[in-house]
Amino acid sequence: MAGPALRKADSHASIHEAALQEARELTNVYANLLKSGDTADALETAFILLEHWETRTLAHADAEEKGLYKEISEQSPEKHDHIVALTRDHDLMRLLAQELNSILERDGATYHALQRFQALILVDELHNQEEERILPEH
């Protein structure tokens, strides 16, 4: 069963926006450290940023899939295809996080990793917009 914050559109949107804003800010810090050539601090920041994605956004995605999405699919079968698409967005974010872990472990702090962090932000922004459009009041 989905928690109460996931079922209320306003509080659910607030959860999304808070996590996304933190990710944007940390990504900007990472980009600035790369630009300044501070690769040691950039790498530390990148791992903090990756952990943020894993513990905030992807953990939230897991909760949505186990509770909210399951409930919506059962209550509104006509939304099944939308739920599949939203779950695919989560899968894309998980794949990007796995890639980032490999890139950071293998290559350290790079602009290639920055592109992946920026891709995570874009996928999450589009996902959140679509989720809020499709699932207005849960």
Residue with token string 């903090």 = 48
pLDDT confidence tier of residue 5, bands split at 50, 70 and 90: very low
pTM for the predicted model, two decimal places: 0.88
Share of the chain above pLDDT 90, in %: 79
The domains of the chain are located at 4-134
pLDDT of 1 higher than 70: no
* pLDDT the model gives residue 133: 87
> pLDDT tens digits for 6-41?
455 556 777 788 899 999 999 999 999 999 999 999
Comparing 7-11, 118-122, 129-133, the range with the smallest average pLDDT is 7-11
Show the CA angle centred on residue 9, arms to residues 8 and 13, nearest 5°: 120
* pLDDT the model gives residue 137: 56
Within 10 Å of residue 42's Cβ, how many Cβ atoms? Answer: 23
* pLDDT the model gives residue 134: 84
The residue ranking higher by pLDDT, 93 or 136, is: 93
Count the alpha carbons within 13 Å of 10 in the hemisphere toward its beta carbon. 0
pLDDT confidence tier of residue 113, bands split at 50, 70 and 90: very high
The mean pLDDT of 89-115, rounded to a whole number, is 98
